[in-house]
Amino acid sequence: MRLVTTLAAATAALAALTLPAHAEAGPLGEAGGTLALPLKDAVRALPAAEETRAGYTRTAFKHWTDADRDGCNTRKEVLLAEAFTAPGQGARCALEGGRWYSPYDDIYVEAAGGLDVDHMVPLAEAWDSGAGAWSAKEREAYANDLDDDRALIAVTARSNRSKADQDPATWLPPAQAYRCEYLGDWVAVKMRWQLTVDDTERQALAEGTAGCPNRPVKVTLAR
């Protein structure tokens, strides 16, 4: 496993990992290892590659699964974990009542039916950024990632559908106070799954995080 914890080590890792535009993407580390870089360095360290959506279909990412077989699929697990006020839980994980906060648009939601569970980095964007070459099991793991709470988020259906499959070059949350956290989480998911960025996306991330606190982005590498 690879562990980057000190500033000196992070700087050395950045020098080794930063790639020129359109360079072949190199690994950030080994699956199961941890990586920590200041936000702005993490943006620069993401491997570069052109995006391609050739062959994409949403069904290539199996979701929502019930990995622990407790009756609650991934969507329900996220709703339960992120509830501001816990809902009642009936047979087959039917949720009743509850209250949630949607950070994308700074709105409270009173019913689970008004929420979507969003993939922070959308499935189509993940495909474009390298997941098209993954195995079906890797794509399933990505689509149902409950091991990093930045990967999936409950938000209003309206804001999720406004975002659709866009990256930060063309969409940011309407709630401006949340944008630094959003961009940091986007970078974290890309790091965790060793997904690439193209020139336009990296520029948008760099510009968007320019005024954000340069806090460390810490991840456990998933692959």
Residue pLDDT, tens place only, 140-171 = 999 999 999 999 999 999 999 999 999 999 99
The reported pLDDT for the residue numbered 22 is 34
What is the identity of the amino acid at 85? T
Q: Where does the pLDDT of residue 29 fall: very low under 50, low under 70, confident under 90, or very high at 90 and above?
A: confident
How far is residue 199 from each of residues 196, 211, 221, measured CA to CA in Å?
Answer: 10, 20, 23
Which residue has 């960025």 as its token pair? 197
For residues 188 and 223, the model is more confident at: 188
Region 185-200 average pLDDT = 98
- Give the predicted TM-score (pTM) of the model: 0.88
Residue pLDDT, tens place only, 102-135 = 999 999 999 999 999 999 999 999 999 999 999 9
